Copies of this chain bind each other. A is one copy, B any other.
């Protein structure tokens, strides 16, 4: 079996945002009283923020808004995969101006339900890695 010198490589912030922008589905991770929650959402990238839509009054909104959250997306092909994790703060959009800006992101609703509430995650940091698939290194 061949041995890969660098099976995992660290991505730059630009690469991370480019990969995020091409991913249709991500996962919001929140923590309430020490208990983690995960919510799959479809999303858009706009000016290096993560934007998604949800219904008002949901558990998602309650656990995410004004708190530090994680947002993860990943993807894979035959021989490699990647994952990007944004750590940031989530905020509901309320003013006409901020909602108008969010509308320009062309965010496609994930499900055919009413989701009239925009949430934007502003990043504190973004990290990403690319993985090479394959067998374990020789000798391991």
Interface residues of A (CB under 8 A from B): 3-4, 7-8, 24-25, 27, 29-31, 33-38, 40, 68-70, 72, 74, 76, 81, 83, 85, 108-116, 131-137, 140
Shortest distance from the beta carbon of A18 to any chain B beta carbon, whole Å: 18
- Pick from B4, B8, B27: contact of A38, CB below 8 A: B27
- Pick from B24, B69, B76, B136: contact of A109, CB below 8 A: B136
How many copies of this chain? 2
- Pick from B24, B40, B76, B85: contact of A72, CB below 8 A: B40
Q: A133 contacts which chain B residues (CB < 8 A)?
A: 108-112
* Measured CA separation A56–B29 after assembly (Å): 25
Q: A37 contacts which chain B residues (CB < 8 A)?
A: 70
Residue of B at shortest CB range from A80?
B111
| Docked-complex contact A70 and B38, CB < 8 angstroms | yes
* Measured CA separation A43–B52 after assembly (Å): 28
* Measured CA separation A29–B137 after assembly (Å): 27
Shortest distance from the beta carbon of A115 to any chain B beta carbon, whole Å: 7
